[in-house]
């Protein structure tokens, strides 16, 4: 597969690239820039859609590649700051290659998937470890405001279908449990609280956008509860990796990352991503609502315009 994330095409430090062993070990024979042992949720979703795995936007050679979509995450992503890659050009390229009508239809039928939040709250918690509830709420408002602006911008270009997930139970990340000196099956309450603040605000924002923009359709996948259930089930054995940062000696890797939720201190295993992808794709309304992704893709544009 070779190097396959946008960050590998950017001038960043090695910590932002995930292009070294043991990243990639389970699925790929070499690291690809994915912060895991193998495939990530978008890879599994591409498989469900029976299309080639998305290539990074910055690597796309031929314009026809955008017919199956484009991937903008830079290894990670965030609403605020500079982790993502701007991509307005895709619509222009599609219009040039397909003509206005076809391009419009494609942009309308496409699903625009966002995976943001944790990095935003991680940088906030680092900068303001003692923020009170008011300040936290202000920050949540900024993150959701930025996401809302971006959704509205994509809507203007023709986008109608949006897939999002809420912020996961990041206060349970092994790296943070270690940092805060929590015993193995405890999570950090403060970090879970700000995640829940975000998650409430996200549901409200989505419903508000729905009331403002005709034909706007969305799903929110509840990764918070879906992952928390699994973390609680696994308890001590949630992590496949013992060491500090991935790949930095000395470390020890369990023989079967598939038995664990986290690959290393901050990122899940391929096994976990596969389960999450299945839930997003075909999960019931207790995990993804008001649609799952299969249903969202199946909505017809004519239904949407009505």
Residues near ligand NAG (CB under 6 A): 11, 132, 134-135, 222, 225-226, 229, 284, 286-287
Q: Which CB, 112 or 281, lies closer to ligand NAG? A: 281
Q: Would you say 24 or 283 has its CB closer to ligand NAG?
A: 283
Distance in Å from the first CA to the final CA of the chain: 42
27: Cα within 13 Å, side-chain hemisphere: 20
Q: Is the Cβ of residue 95 or residue 289 nearer to ligand NAG in the bound state?
A: 289
Minimum CB separation of residue 130 from ligand NAG in Å reads 8
Residue number with CB closer to ligand NAG (222 or 270): 222
- What does each C-alpha distance from 145 to 16, 70, 89, 152, 206 come to in angstroms? 26, 24, 23, 11, 11
Q: In angstroms, what is the minimal distance from the CB of 226 to ligand NAG? A: 5
Q: Which is nearer to ligand NAG, 21 or 128 (CB)?
A: 128
Partner residues linked to 112 by β-bridges: 162
The distance of closest approach from Cβ of residue 147 to ligand NAG in the complex, given in angstroms and rounded to an integer, is: 22
Distances (CA, A) of 47 to 40, 71, 132: 11, 15, 43
Torsion of CA 67, 73, 74, 76, to 10 degrees: -160
Cis peptide before 239 (omega within 30 of 0): no
What are 241's strand-pairing partners?
Answer: 253
CB of 281 to ligand NAG, least distance (A): 14
Nearer to ligand NAG, 64 or 135 (CB): 135
Question: What gap in Å lies between CA 161 and CA 145, rounded to an integer?
Answer: 19
Q: How many other CB atoms sit within 10 Å of the CB of residue 128?
A: 12
User: Closest separation between CB of residue 229 and ligand NAG, Å?
Assistant: 5
Reading the block at residue 240, the tokens are 């496949």
DSSP string, 163-222: EEE----GGG-HHHHHHTT--TT---HHHHHHHHHHHHHHHHHHHHHHHHSTT-EEEEE-
CB of 286 to ligand NAG, least distance (A): 4
Q: What radius of gyration, in Å, describes the C-alpha atoms of the chain?
A: 19
- CB atoms under 10 Å from CB of 154, counted, come to 20
Q: Which is nearer to ligand NAG, 90 or 287 (CB)?
A: 287
Minimum CB separation of residue 225 from ligand NAG in Å reads: 4
Least separation in angstroms between CB 109 and ligand NAG: 29
Q: For ligand NAG, which is the closer residue by CB, 60 or 225?
A: 225
């Amino acid at each position: 597969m070779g190097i396959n994330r946008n960050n590998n095409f950017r001038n960043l430090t090695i910590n932002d690239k995930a292009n070294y062993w043991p990243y990639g070990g389970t699925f790929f024979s070499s690291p690809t820039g994915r912060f895991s042992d193998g495939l990530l949720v978008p890879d599994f979703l591409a498989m469900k859609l029976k299309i080639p795995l998305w290539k990074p936007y910055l690597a796309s050679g031929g314009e026809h590649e955008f017919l199956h979509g484009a991937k903008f995450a830079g290894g990670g992503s965030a609403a605020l700051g500079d982790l993502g890659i701007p991509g307005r050009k895709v619509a222009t390229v599609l219009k040039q290659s397909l003509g206005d009508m076809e391009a419009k239809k494609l942009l309308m039928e496409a699903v625009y998937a966002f995976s943001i939040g944790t990095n935003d709250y991680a940088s906030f918690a680092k900068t303001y470890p003692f923020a009170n509830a008011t300040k936290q709420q202000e920050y949540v408002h900024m993150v959701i405001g930025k996401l809302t602006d971006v959704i509205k911008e994509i809507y203007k270009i023709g986008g109608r279908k949006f897939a999002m997930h809420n912020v996961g139970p990041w206060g349970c990340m092994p790296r943070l449990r270690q940092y805060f000196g929590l015993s193995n099956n405890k999570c950090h309450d403060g970090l879970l609280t700000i995640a829940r603040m975000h998650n409430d605000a996200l549901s409200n924002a989505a419903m508000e956008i729905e009331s403002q923009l005709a034909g706007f359709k969305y799903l929110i996948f509840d990764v918070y509860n879906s992952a928390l259930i699994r973390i609680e089930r696994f308890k001590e054995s949630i992590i496949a990796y013992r060491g500090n940062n991935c790949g930095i000696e000395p470390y020890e890797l369990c023989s079967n990352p598939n038995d664990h939720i986290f690959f290393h201190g901050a990122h899940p295993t391929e096994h976990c991503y596969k389960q999450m992808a299945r839930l997003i794709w075909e999960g019931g309304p207790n995990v993804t609502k008001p649609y799952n992704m299969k249903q969202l893709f199946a909505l017809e544009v004519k239904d949407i315009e009505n």
